[in-house]
Amino acid sequence: IVQKILHKVLDAKYIFVLRTVPNMVTWGAVVVLDYAPYINGKFRRDE
């Protein structure tokens, strides 16, 4: 009985992680792409 409960909890957490991680990666990529032109522009001005 305990193993079944643990299995359900772990499955729920695993599904949550699988859903959350790609979203975090996507938002991370969006943030990087938003800041990349700013960083590139800043470095070009310094040179």
35/37 Cα distance (integer angstroms) = 6
Structure confidence at residue 45 (pLDDT)? 59
Q: How far is Cα 6 from Cα 13, in angstroms, rounded to an integer?
A: 10
If phi > 0 it is left, if psi is from -120 to 50 it is alpha, else beta; for residue 16 that is alpha
20's tokens: 């959350």
Q: Which pLDDT score is estimated for 31?
A: 83
pTM: 0.47
Q: Helices (H) and strands (E) in the chain — how many of each?
A: 1, 0
Kindly list the domain boundaries of the chain, sorted by start residue: 1-47
For residue 44, the model assigns a pLDDT of 63
More confident residue, 43 or 45: 43
Tokens representing 3 are 């193993």
Q: What pLDDT does 4 receive? A: 92
pLDDT tens-digit map of 5-25: 989 988 989 989 888 888 888
